[in-house]
Amino acid sequence: MSGNNENNPFKIAQQQINDCADILKLNPGTREVLLSPMREFHVSFPVRMDDGSTRVFQGFRVQYNDAKGPTKGGIRFHPEETIDTVRALAAWMTWKCAMLDLPLGGGKGGVICNPKELSPGELERISRGYVRAIGSFIGPEKDIPAPDVYTNPQVMAWMVDEYSSIVGRNQFGVITGKPLPLGGSSGRGDATARGGMYALREAAQVVGLDLSKATVAVQGYGNAGSYAASLAESMFQSKIVAVCDSRGAVTCKDGICAAKVAEHKQNTSTVMNCEGTENLTNDELLALDVDVLVLAALENSITERNADQIKAKIIVELANGPTTPEADEILYNKGIHVIPDFLCNAGGVTVSYFEMVQNAYMYYWDEEEIHEKLDKRMTRAYHEVIQTSEKFKINMRKAAYAVSVGRVVEAMKLRGWI
């Protein structure tokens, strides 16, 4: 694969689909359907800024495959958002929903903007402008957005309000990840990390790792990474020995308190220079001799360039697309157990699905019931993947693709598409 392809997440997603198609022995027509989004929207919309000027923002929405049901997927606000990133994420959402056997397809959206440079008023006007631009193409039975990078429950609240204004009635089911008073679900805040921890618990049993004695490094200390660190402490009594964010990393061999680092980052906007820790680079964090490496940053963190340096026994992929296909083979040959992204981080979309169900019949479960239902689904999905990995003697990502793509293909066949 060329260097250009290595950095293009959609090329990576397509290569993974092709590898899976080889394993499943799919015919050329079926393969072709899987390799392209069913529909995508490119929108431009004007926003009045605080200084009175008007700026035009570019946005995307990709509905990758809806064979199993309405498409579902997050919305990113990011200064470097690209259509290929959104396409890849929409593809991965398709497989993620199928992985957990949810009655949903995959979608994704994004707006090119930098929320760190926007006032709350500007952020609200961008959120509403984006929904006006894509409003005709989304809905509870069409495509259901959710939060993603640099979006949050408040952004979802503005979006659901704007959509409700457009259709002339409250339509809370159009968006998930909403605040609780607007039809949000209990357990949504830490759902991605918690689902990953359930998968880690099962993986540790498979590889014979005692998590109560395990050391953990966390790359990325946003929502998923910080929750993963605190849950690893509280659920398993694991020792967090290193964490990082976009500015750098910190380590302490005697252990780092997840809450203390979160408070330090809240006060200083970075984990760097946290009391009782030493600074190091992100590359150094990835190469630490730890039992568990949690990847909770962005795409392409582990590539063929640095995969040989990874020493962890288990990699927990809470981010989307953090490992390239070449790196996957290197890690597999080293005996490192990777819990692939669209299995590992499926807790978020699973609880989003629970939110949709609760919205539809206007009855809400308590947090304990959410955790119980999530645990059951994540545990079942993990064992389906590990069994497929062992059956075909393939790495965990290829096994996850075989399970999930197989389900999408079955739905397409039943519908007469292929």
Q: Please give the positions annotated as active site.
A: 108
CB 178 within 8 A of CB 184: yes
CB 217 within 8 A of CB 290: yes
Task: Count CA within 13 A, CB hemisphere, residue 339.
Answer: 35
Q: Which residue in the block uniquely carries the two structure tokens 């409700």?
A: 164
SS3 at position 39 = strand
* Alpha helices (H) along 208-290: 223-236, 258-268, 282-286
Q: Say if residue 153 is exposed, middle or buried (CB neighbours under 10 Å; 0-12, 13-18, 19+).
A: middle
Residue 260 is classified by DSSP as: H
The token pair that represents 51 in the structure block: 């200084």
78 φ/ψ angles, rounded to the nearest 5 degrees? -150, 135
392 φ/ψ angles, rounded to the nearest 5 degrees? -95, -5
Question: Measured between alpha carbons, how far is residue 301 from residues 7, 10, 112, 290, 293 in Å?
Answer: 10, 15, 22, 17, 12
Question: Measured between alpha carbons, how far is residue 23 from residues 31, 45, 82, 412 in Å?
Answer: 12, 43, 30, 18
